Amino acid sequence: MVVPQAEIELHHWLAGSPAMPTVVLSHALGASMAMWDPQLAPLTAIRQVLRYDQRGHGGSPVPPGPYTIEALGRDLLALLDRLHLDRVSLCG
């Protein structure tokens, strides 16, 4: 799924029960959300799981740089707001 953000659209995947606590899986620079594939089955059994591709990675657009850690953080906050996720645990 692709969700439009203030500046770009972030490719993401949300699974598991919304009644469960949410964990956000943020990939390493130069990787994509696919790096979390081995953890999905056990995590979605006990949590709602959000994983996403950061700008310039995986299925997300590649806007002109530079990419800053601050911009990547703003992208994630915008995605969380768009999905109405107020409280999450972040892994990555």
Listing DSSP states for 35-89 in one string gives GGGGGHHHHHTTSEEEEEPPTTSTTS---SS---HHHHHHHHHHHHHHTT--SEE
- Mean pLDDT of the 2-23 span: 83
Q: What is the mean pLDDT of residues 59-86?
A: 92
Q: How much is the average pLDDT of 60-88?
A: 92
| Predicted TM-score of the model (pTM) | 0.87
Give CATH for domain 2-91. 3.40.50.1820
The pLDDT of residue 2 is above 90: no
Q: How high is the pLDDT of residue 83?
A: 96
Domain boundaries, the chain: 2-91
Residue 5 has a pLDDT of 46
Mean pLDDT (the chain, rounded): 91
pLDDT band at 13 (very low <50, low <70, confident <90, very high): very high
DSSP 34: G
Does the pLDDT value for residue 35 go beyond 50? yes
Nearest-5° angle of CA 18, CA 9, CA 12?
A: 35
